[in-house]
Structure 1
Amino acid sequence: MKETRAEVEQMRAADADRQKVADQLKIALDEGRLSLHEYDDRVRLAYASKTYQELLLLVTDLPRPGLNATDVASRRQAEERRAARRLPTALLVLWTIWAAFTVANLVVFGLVSATTGGGVYPWPVWLLVPGAALGVVTVGTQAIRHQQRSR
């Protein structure tokens, strides 16, 4: 049986759990994220905590140890850039369909050309038309999304 987050948070914490939180608070103090007064208050509360929820409240506003503000900001910006580059699902579906159709046509064209000895009209070149249209729509969509983010 899998416990829910709420059930886990209500479980009693062990001394080892309190020590881990105290260690994380010490790292935050060393990195300059906490003042000495805040550190003292939080360590006192950590050792007085009875549940995981009480322990988690002491470290929820702290990033993982070893990360500085620049790392946190750069990770956030990288995630935003990845999200911005991600195509809408409809365009992904259309590109997948176009690619599958193009591959199938190229295979058939290759087989027909190989078995008839050449001189076959290169009909797959017409697949460039919907591909170009799809490319224009993709570039336009990304430009609009970029413009909306810039506002």
Structure 2
Amino acid sequence: MANSPEMRASDVDRDRVAAILREHAAQGRITMEEFNERLENVYASKTYGELAKVTVDLPDVDLRHRPAKVASSTPAPQGGLHPGMRAAWGAWAAASGINWVIWLIVSLTSGDLIYPWPLWVMGPWGVILLMSTIFGNGQPKRG
């Protein structure tokens, strides 16, 4: 059964059109401002007809057979970690540091060294990050 313009669109249909818009933005057919405007229209659309109006002036894009990406001239990530893993380690270090500073302040103001509870924050999180770093494939997950 063909989809008539009056039929209600699903979230999957809106996500498919959003992916098409992302591809057109990546190829430079639309600006980021146009992309954001069209994306708002996509998620406000209720029917197939409204979705079609968002991409009527753009050529068809087959997302299954996209051209191969051109190798970028950017250098390889430092330490062999992708940016997401570096960010995770940075968040771990920042949270651990803040917790140790709080522990130190409480210990100094109480006049006694209290139980080192920050170990319970940084330990399990650090172990999970370490396992992900060692046994991960080095690539960010694709959704």
Q: TM-score range by the shorter chain?
A: 0.3 to 0.5
User: Please, what TM-score do these two structures have when normalized by structure 2?
Assistant: 0.41
User: Please, what TM-score do these two structures have when normalized by structure 1?
Assistant: 0.39
